[in-house]
Amino acid sequence: MCSFPPGEMVVVTRRNTYFVDPDVAPEDKFNIVYWLVILVGFGVLLPWNMFITIAPEYYVNYWFKQDGEETWYSKEFMGSLTIASQLPNAAINVFNLFLIIAGPLIYRVFAPVCFNIFNLAIILCFVVTVEPTHDAMRWFFWLTIFMATSINFSNGLYENSVYGVFADFPHTYIGALLIGNNICGLLITFVKIAVTYCLFNMPRLVAIVYFSISLGILIICAVALFFITKQDFYHYYHQKGMKVREEADTHRPSPSILWTTFKNCYGQLFNVWFCFAVTLTIFPVMMTVTTRGKNGFIDKIISENDEIYTLLTSFLVFNLFATIGSIVASKIHWPTPRYLSLAIIARALFIPVFFFCNYRVETRAYPVFFDNTDVFVGAGILMSLSHGYLSALAMGYTPNVVPSHYSRFAAQLSVCTLMIGLLTGGLWAVLIENLIDKPNIF
C-alpha cells in the first residue's frame, strides 16, 4: 500500500509521479519555463511564417511566373495560401474547444508537432527533387495548397491546446507565447534575408536551406515542450487549474460552460478577432505586392533587388515591430480592458492607407495617393507595432476577465477567435485583391 505526503497534490504521468505542495508555488528557477514557453510559441506560428516568407520568391516568382510574366497561379497563390492556412486552422480550433480538456496532453500537443515535422520533411523533399516546368505548374500549385492545409489543420489543434494549457499559468506566460509567436516571424525573416543575400538569384537553393532551418526550429520547439512537462512549476499550475475546475464542476467542456465563458469575455474576444482581421487584411497579401515608390529616403538606401525590398519593407518591418509591441505589452497594460476596443477599432484606418499606396500599381483602377516609400514603411511600422501591443493585451486580458475556473476555456476561445480573425482578414484581403482592378466599386 502506498502513502503520499499529506497536503500535497499528486500528479501522475505515464512514467513519473510528482508531489506538489498546493500552498507553495514552485519557483521558476532562472525563468527556465518562461524561456521554454517562448520557444514553444515559436512553433505556434512557424508553419504560417514559413510559408508566407518564402512564398513571394520561391512559389510566386520562381514557380508560377513564366518569364517574369504573371499567370493565374502567381496572382492567386498568396490569397489561396492565406485561405488554405486559416480556414482549417479556424475549423479545428472550434472542434477542439469540446475536446482539449478531456484528451491527454501528449495527443493534443506533441502529436501535431510530430505530424508537422513529417509534413515539412515531405515539402523539403519536393523542393529538392522537383524543378518548375509549365506542365508541373498546375499540380504543384494544388499540392502546395494541400500541404499548407494539412499543416495548418494540425497546427490549429496544437495552438488551441497550448494556449489552453498555459492559461492556468501566471499572466506573463500567455504573454511569453505571444512573444514567441512574433520572435518566430522575426527569426524566420532574418534567416530568409541572410539566405537570400548569400544565395543571390538561386531561389531553389534558398528554399532548400530555408525549409531545412525551419525543420530544425520545429524540432527544437518539440524538445522545449517536452522539457516543460518535466518541471515541477508546470505540474503545480496544471494541477491547480484542474483542481479549480473540478471543484466548480467545469473540468469537462460543454456548450453551456463555453457559452457562460463567452458571455464573460465577449468584449475581449471581439478585440482579438478584429485586431487580427485588420492585420491579416494588410499583411502579407497587400504589403508584399506593394512596389517601391518613386521617391523617399528609404527607397534610396534599400537594395534595388525586389526580393530584398519586400523582405525588408514587409516581412522585417512587420515581424520586428510586432515583436517589440508584444514585449512592451508584457510591461505596460494600457488601455484597460474596458477601453481597449477603441484603440483596436481605430486600426481599421490602416486598410485604406495601404490600399492607396503602390498596391498592385500595374493593374489597379484607382489612383495612388501615397507614392512615397517612406509613407508605406511608416504605416507598416505603426500597423505592426500596434498589432503586437494590442493583440498581446487582448489575448492576455481574455482569461483574466473571467472567474478562474473558466480561464482555460477563455484562453481556448481567444485562440479560436484569433483563428477566425485571421480567416476573416484573409477573406477581406482576397476580396480587396479581386476588386483593386475593377472601377466603380465604392
110-168 per-position pLDDT tens digit: 888 888 899 999 999 999 999 999 899 999 999 999 999 999 888 888 887 888 788 88
Nearest Cα neighbor of 280 from 144, 419, 135 is: 419
408, pLDDT greater than 90: no
Task: Give the pLDDT confidence score for residue 19 in this predicted structure.
Answer: 52
Element (H, E) at 84: helix 72-96
Q: Supply the pTM of this predicted model.
A: 0.80
Rounded CA-CA distance 418/155 in Å is 13
Q: What is the CATH number of domain 9-435?
A: 1.20.1250
**CB-CB contact of 392 with 330 (8 Å):** yes
How large is the greatest C-alpha to C-alpha distance in the chain, in angstroms? 81
Task: Give the pLDDT confidence score for residue 23 in this predicted structure.
Answer: 65
418, pLDDT greater than 60: yes
User: What residues does 17 pair with on adjacent strands?
Assistant: 12
Q: Give the residue, 3 or 30, on which the prediction is more confident.
A: 30
Rounded CA-CA distance 395/415 in Å is 8
Which of helix, strand or coil describes residue 397? helix
What are the C-alpha distances in Å from 83 to residues 42, 146, 250, 418? 22, 11, 34, 14
Contacts of 273 (CB under 8 A, 6+ apart): 417, 418, 420, 421, 424
What interhelical angle do 32-54 and 137-166 show, nearest 10? 160
Task: Give the pLDDT confidence score for residue 10 in this predicted structure.
Answer: 47
Which of helix, strand or coil describes residue 69? strand
Which of helix, strand or coil describes residue 116? helix
Rounded CA-CA distance 27/8 in Å is 16
What cell numbers appear for 389 in the block?
A: 501591443
Per-residue confidence at 241, pLDDT binned at 50, 70, 90?
Answer: confident
Annotated domain spans of the chain: 9-435
pLDDT, tens digit (0-9, with 9 covering 90-100), for 208-221: 988 898 888 889 98
> If you average pLDDT over residues 92-106, what whole number do you get?
63
DSSP 25: P
- Over its C-alpha atoms, the chain yields an Rg (Å, rounded) of 22
> If you average pLDDT over residues 34-63, what whole number do you get?
87
**CB-CB contact of 245 with 412 (8 Å):** no
What cell numbers appear for 15 in the block?
A: 512514467
Task: Give the pLDDT confidence score for residue 362 in this predicted structure.
Answer: 84
What cell numbers appear for 121 in the block?
A: 520533411
What interhelical angle do 137-166 and 407-435 show, nearest 10? 150
Burial (CB count within 10 angstroms: exposed 0-12, middle 13-18, buried 19+), residue 345 = middle
277, pLDDT greater than 70: yes
Q: C-alpha 16: how far from its chain's center?
A: 33
What interhelical angle do 171-198 and 373-397 show, nearest 10? 150
If one counts every other C-beta atom within 10 angstroms of the C-beta of residue 130, the result is: 14
**CB-CB contact of 231 with 32 (8 Å):** yes
Q: What are phi and psi of 316, to 5 degrees?
A: -65, -45
**CB-CB contact of 232 with 26 (8 Å):** yes
